[in-house]
A and B are shown apart, each in its own frame.
Chain A
Amino acid sequence: MKKRSKKLLGVAAATLLTISSARADDTALTQLKSESYENIASGVTSLAARGDPRAPAIIAALQNDALYASEDGTALYIESTDGFTDAATGKPVPNVDADSLRQIHENNRVRVAVAAALALLGLSAPDAHARAAAAQAMIDHPLGALLPALDRALAHETDPAARHAMTVARAAAALSPGAPIEGERDQLAAVAALRGEGGAQARAILLVIPSPSPAVRDAAAAAVKSIDFTLQLWSFAQGLFYGISLGSVLLIAALGLAITFGVMGVINMAHGELMMIGAYVTYIVQNAVTSVFPGDAGAGLALAVPAAFLLCGALGVAIERGLIRFLYGRPLETLLATWGLSLVLQQVIRSLFGPTNVAVITPAFMSGAVRLGGIEITLNRLVIIVFAALVMFGLNLVLRMTPLGLQMRAVTQNRRMAALMGIRTSWVDALTFGLGSGVAGLAGVAISQIDNVSPNLGQSYIIDSFMVVVFGGVGNLWGTLAGAMSLGAANKILEPVAGAVLAKIFVLVLIILFIQRRPRGLFPLRGRAVES
């Protein structure tokens, strides 16, 4: 409703500018005065199609039951709050006997014509969105009579979206039954235009062309094929985006694990719970920030990133010092102990925050979507892709450029030699585990934006994360990246074919089979240390 009134306003403004050029071709007005709905409808259409400057006011009046014919059928009046105006001249008419007037009514046929006419008038709206919407309405109800107006609008349209909609609308009108052009050449041109524009709408129009000419039908069939191909390409691109998006979620969930499992050889089953705690940190920080600066969800989210990293990192160091260091060399026992820890952490959060989901707010800059060609990109997914890439980059930087990273790699490669060189291996262990846990916290912040934050959040990611690390190859961040992206893409490519659950099952089975071929993953570490 709001949209339409806006459109009408625009039209009214345009009318004011052109009112002086009013001409006196009054066939349409005569038709409006008729008592036959058929005539009224065609009057409305021709009034709008000619681009008559009086059309907006008259059609709006008709729509609002404010259009009257005089008793003798010579004049057409528009009723407004301060009296009547003559529809033909636009001038106020004093002293009209309201009782002698006959109101002009609408039936469904007239209403369709009015809607089409309003759309047609919308073609000259100053706002490009309104013009595109008007053309869209004409795609939905193509009418051959609207062709000249579309041609006029196309002649000076510059906005690409509006142009696209108008081109499709023009072709749809040209191909509609009862269009004034009957020649094969015109129809072929319309088919070619639709083929050029592409899109699901153009395809739908092409599918139902009522043309008797075989050449046109063939051209339409070929055009449908071509559009199908393009649409398939786009849907593949869309699938790819979803795949990368899922892949980046898997990546960020698995990166911390790649550190603790990959570099240290520690199976941390509580990794998912560290992510869950990261998500709860987001919830707490966001609430704290919005209680001080109301309405600023973005700042809270930004602050949650370092907070989650530090808190989960500290928790990780505590876990390593308090539990894991007693279990080095017994990976299977570590697995059990950290599983126990994960149960405790879950229950702690459940006791503190309750078993139900808590609401984490998505800031404005992360909600909504943008269209890029034929694919739709949701902004929160895009932000997570960027965030995952940044975390990956940062981790690489830490591992390659910092003293800690150097020491970590040294301890991984040869613990005793590293100790002999003066590295405090036990501290390196603690910090490495802390780093991995901190990254899990970061993952929690990201996941809080796309998933329900509940005490069970961690469990739904832990198996997938392990799959990624094992698939990618242990001890190799690039392997984790490759693993995450290929699992994400495989899931999303299989999903349309098999459904979400079956796709997931297939991927799991594929991993199980893959591990048989490559027991050490896609990119195994080579060297002596691994063989032990």
Chain B
Amino acid sequence: MRTLSLSMLLLALCVPHAASADTVDELLEQYRAEGAGEFSAEAGQRLWHAQHSHGTAPNSRSCVSCHTSDPHSIGEHVRTGKSIKPMARSMNFERYTEQEKVEKWFKRNCKWTLGRECSAQEKGDLLVFLRSH
């Protein structure tokens, strides 16, 4: 009887977890619906390092400007110096748990870095890259 109730408890603990879909998967699904193709961590990595200069930013900038080249590292806001928690999910389990938050930062940071919003493909590639760490 005890064994049975223990397994029931374990099952109960597992079910809600399994039922709640991963935020990253949900976002990837959404990006596919917006026309993106297969996502690639390699493409995400290239984007992570790609240097950009645009109208308001004559000096080149990239994700690395604030987040460092290693997503496991603590970053630093290039202007204010405030530290930024690592982008690698393995280093920070709070990352990529809220869709709105992910979209908010993509919007702000793509505009700052690339001078435009990122495409669904680019966002998906970056997420797949960051999730792999």
Are A and B co-members of a single complex?
no
